[in-house]
Chain A
Amino acid sequence: MSQVTQAPLGRSPVALAPTQSVSLNINGQDHTLQIAPWTTLLDALREYLDLTGTKKGCDHGQCGACTVLVDGKRINSCLSLAVMHEDSKIQTIEGLGTEDELSPLQQAFIDHDAFQCGYCTPGQICSAQGLINEGKAKTEAQVRELMSGNVCRCGAYTNILSAVMEVLNNEGLIIEDKAWSAGATKQDIAPVEPPKK
């Protein structure tokens, strides 16, 4: 006795999502894609544009491996739909430096051995670039707090921190260390005047 496989009672097969056209500006280049609206920015980069530097870790906004810069601001590309980014300027790890000239953060990550398996590294570097663009981290403790959206399962945090600190120091952005956490008082997180020399 043979049975025909069919959809469960009361359910009909799901039609494919209708696609739509979206124009994305990525690392200075315009791309037009025909994609289903459910395509995340992360999947658009990896699956449609072959920009596989951006990594898929948890796919739920918890690990930061998918961090890219949109109009200079770091976001989790896994929690954003590609169709929401028409007219945005998107920067990925591929657009931060060139093969001949790495960005200061990329060079610092190498100099400080700031990775082991390397899977979180593109997200760490894009996140650190976002942190620099924001200009809010003035101390090592603030850098730690403002990099907390990026998880490193190898535990390379110490070297990641020194790499980011070196770039911030070179750009004259670090002022003085102070205890800072979400529970700290306003005085703790207020920008501190640089010491007079």
Chain B
Amino acid sequence: MNSFTFTQATAVAGAVQDKAAHDDAAYIGGGTNLIDLMKENVARPTHLIGLKKLGLDTIEALPDGGLRLGALATNADTAWHPEVEKRYPLLNQAILAGASPQLRNMATDGGNLMQRTRCYYFYDLATPCNKREPGSGCSAIGGYNRVCGILGTSEQCIATHPSDMCVALAALDTTVRVSGPNGERTIKFEDFHRLPGDQPERDNTLEPGELITGLDLPAKGFEKNFSYLKLRDRTSYAFALVSVATALELYGNTIKDARLALGGVAHKPWRDKEAEAMLIGQPATADTFRRVAAKVLENAKGYGANTFKIELAKRAIVRALKQATEMNQVLDTNAFQNSNP
């Protein structure tokens, strides 16, 4: 680890000022990803600003019926919060599908958005990586890319965003609240993370010095019909190869509203609003789901070792939609007969 100094911030404004006063400063919440990156010399901040004394760790009801997650609330406290369990069970499941209990007790909600890719080459200082060292090249293209992306990739970078929680937050239309040198602003979740393009070193649209202060969930939580389906190499404590967060509002067997987002496939949580529009008004059947799955992956590009993800993602979408449809219902026994994907 590089040498650095540490201060514990006690107010958001002070933290933002402290950040601006140092060239290579970083905010630290739970530290579960940042400290690991510092041990690997991938991240080399010269000054750390501790955030745990800022407060911002509560989960509170909003006047519009939504719920505000403080940026410093831990992933575990968020997942097990009674309002999250009851009204946003998709978020509860996505959080619990990620990491380990120890890490979820440390990791913060704001930090979850800020975690970096787990692409092998990003961590390997001996190899080129455009995200770590812009202009050096991408070793994953043509290399070991089993964990890499298939949607929205660029010639510069095919890394994925590793979060499970963010896939659910994307599906639920979350708003990110930030504070920075120019004051406070909100960012729509779909605009928070970005695609690599020719600037893969930028994971998100935060301006220099900006700090996440909270995440606002809208009132609609889709608590009746949802699924977070995570496919991975082990059944616990592994990153997603492909994950699907989906939520449906059903009228009988007709889809009235739908949300669909994928993890493990792109540089950002991959929400597909066109696919959602295709679902609305349609019967919740395997035929509908297969058409939608084909649409989501129509522009997917495999890079060899990760090409399997295209078919895997299609099947995962169909299965997740089916799981969301069937939960809490007296099953129509004919609905999926002979139509399993």
Contacts and interface: CB of A to CB of B under 8 A. Distances in A.
- Size category, A interface: 35 or more
Contact of B6 (A61, A81, A144, A146): A81
Nearest to A149: B100
Contacts of A131: 101
Nearest to B326: A185
A131 B237 CA distance: 16
Interface residues of B, number: 42
Contacts of B317: none
Contacts of B32: 61, 76, 79
Contacts of A29: none
Contacts of A1: none
A192 to B, nearest CB: 15
Interface in A170-195: 181-183, 185-187
Nearest to B50: A84
A83 B102 contact: no
B235 A182 contact: yes
Contact of A149 (B39, B102, B230): B102
Interface in A55-85: 59-61, 64, 67, 73-76, 79-81, 83-84
A166 B261 CA distance: 41
Interface in B84-140: 89, 93, 96-97, 99-103, 105-106
B6 A37 contact: yes
B8 A86 contact: yes
B105 A130 contact: yes
Interface stretch (A16-24, A99-107, A111-119): A16-24
B313 to A, nearest CB: 15
B157 interface: no
Contacts of A30: none
B106 A79 contact: yes
Interface string B298-341: 00000000000000000000000001000110000000000000
7 contacts: A38-B4, A61-B103, A80-B35, A84-B28, A149-B103, A183-B97, A183-B229
Interface of A: 14-18, 20, 36-38, 40, 59-61, 64, 67, 73-76, 79-81, 83-84, 86, 127, 130-131, 134, 136, 144-150, 181-183, 185-187
Given A80-B106, A134-B76, 12 more contacts: A60-B36, A61-B103, A76-B102, A79-B35, A81-B28, A81-B48, A130-B101, A130-B102, A148-B100, A148-B101, A182-B236, A187-B327
